[in-house]
Amino acid sequence: MQTLKDRILSHIKTSGPMSVASYMSWCLLDPKQGYYPTRDPLGVAKNGKSDFITAPEISQMFGEVLGLWLINAWRGMGKPKQVQLVEYGPGRGVMMSDMLRTARLDKDFFAAIQVNLIEMSSALEGKQAEVLANAGVPVTWVGSLEEVPAGPTIVIGNEYLDCLPVRQFIMKDRFKGKTGWHERMVDVHPDNPGKFIFSVSEVPISEIDQALLPADIPPVKNGDLLEINPGLGQIVEALRKRFVEHSGAALFIDYGPAETELGDTFQALKKHEKVYPLDEPGHADLTARVDFAALGEWADKAGLASFGPCPQGQFLSRLGIEVRAVNLSKASPENKTKIARQLHRLTDTNDMGTLFKALSIQSADLPAAIGFK
């Protein structure tokens, strides 16, 4: 059988260079040979099989305090009898399982929950089904937010936005070109037909693409690179459509800057090490930093209320993660050092505390989301 790499190479040879976003889609999402559909990539480095680790996999405290955020969002909606709880990219279902443990603290909330998981990896869907088998609430899988049953909705996603395909634009011949931004492409190496290289499109980006650029781009010079994540606008549009009909609150946590930044952040991780993103398509996790300013801007333009971005460390502190750590340590003193190490990892500035951010998007008429000030 042809490998994914062979298929991408021959596609480029017949159809010409592809955008970084198309390359990312092929690598991550190809149903038969893509990265996510073919494996469970999550876990600690020492198990030797995983490629990366995420906050819920580091500690149960992460999902548990997010469960408090959910309770609060539901109360802000007026405690509806039924609420659709939607998770984008649930990984191994660990965060949902931890959040539901906290959700049980409010019996009425717990009784109202219907879980909807948006997951494109059948490998991970299997894990989620196992982990959530005894969740105590109905759990279903849907293809998109549009498929979620009507009614008040709470949406959550951790490290989901960072794996959505990004486009990269390079400022080229600013004073000669029509618009200045040219799309960065993936091409086949002219002297080595088995190797990918980056190239830059000769023609500037279209006017439609210009409209995707965020408002506050820092001063740009020749050669600068700007990343655009078209998925952010699409997700906000799906939220807008839903939240005009039904009360809704969404929370996204991911890694990225609070302000739009220039620079190439497209990266590949394999076995917890960075590798070159154009080597081994389909065998490494591909991500890029999330532009939280752009996400907030899409939400504001859609007439929704946005809160944040707030650094993850501060956000989790406001939700009481330190208190949770103390209580867990009391309950199992033998794990005290481990719990302290996990807390540090999730909240410390030199670890995930500052690089990671939380941002909430809600129906405009709901009370302010908690954790943001």
Residues 100-119, one symbol each (x = binds ligand SAH by CB under 6 A, - = not), give ------------------xx
* Closest distance of CB 253 from ligand SAH, Å: 8
Q: Six-digit token pair at 115?
A: 């879980």
Q: What are phi and psi of 351, to 5 degrees?
A: -115, -125
The residue type at 281: P
- Min. distance of Cβ 156 from ligand SAH in angstroms? 9
Shortest spacing between CB 278 and ligand SAH, in angstroms: 19
Total residues interacting with ligand SAH, rule: CB under 6 A: 19
Closer of 34 and 204 to ligand SAH (Cβ): 34
Candidates 109, 160, 181, 298; binder of ligand SAH (CB under 6 A) is: 160
Identify the bridge partners of residue 70 per DSSP, sorted by sequence position.
none
In the chain, how long is the greatest CA-to-CA distance? 67
| Residue type, position 179, single letter | T
> From residue 286 to residue 325, what is the string marking binding to ligand SAH with x (rule CB under 6 A)?
----------------------------------------
Q: What's at 53, amino acid-wise? A: I
CB atoms under 10 Å from CB of 194, counted, come to 9
Question: Is 63 a binder of ligand SAH (CB under 6 A)?
Answer: no
Considering the rule CB under 6 A, would residue 90 count as an interface residue with ligand SAH?
Answer: yes
Using CB under 6 A, pick the residue from 67, 76, 91, 214 that binds ligand SAH: 91
- Side chain identity at residue 174, one-letter code: R
120 binds ligand SAH (CB under 6 A): yes
Per CB under 6 A, 238 contacts ligand SAH: no
Angle at 224 between CA 220 and CA 227, to 5 degrees: 100
How many whole angstroms separate alpha carbon 165 and alpha carbon 229?
Answer: 6
Q: How far is the CB of 25 from ligand SAH (least distance, A)?
A: 8
98 sits near ligand SAH (criterion: CB under 6 A): no
Per CB under 6 A, the list member of 22, 33, 50, 54 interacting with ligand SAH is 54
Among the residue ranges 50-58, 132-140, 243-251, 272-280, the one whose residues contact ligand SAH (CB under 6 A): 50-58
66 near ligand SAH, judged by CB under 6 A: no
Contact flag: residue 56 with ligand SAH (CB under 6 A)? yes
**The two three-digit tokens of residue 138, written as one number:** 């109905």
**Residue list 259-288, contact with ligand SAH (CB under 6 A):** none
83-88 vs 153-158, strand pairing mode: parallel
Residue position matching structure tokens 């590949």: 268
Whole-angstrom Cα distance, residue 170 to residue 200? Answer: 8
Q: Closest residue (Cβ) to ligand SAH? A: 89
Q: Where are the beta strands (DSSP E) in 28-144?
A: 83-88, 113-118, 139-142
By CB under 6 A, is residue 355 in contact with ligand SAH? no
60, containing H or E segment: helix 60-76
42 binds ligand SAH (CB under 6 A): yes
Binding piece for ligand SAH, criterion CB under 6 A, among 54-62, 198-206, 265-273, 314-322: 54-62
263-269, long-range: CB within 8 Å, 24+ apart, which pairs? Answer: 263/224, 263/225, 264/168, 264/225, 264/227, 265/227, 265/289, 266/20, 266/24, 266/166, 266/168, 266/227, 269/51, 269/52
β partners of residue 119: none
Binding site for ligand SAH (CB under 6 A): 29, 36, 42, 54, 56-57, 89-91, 95, 118-121, 124, 158-160, 163
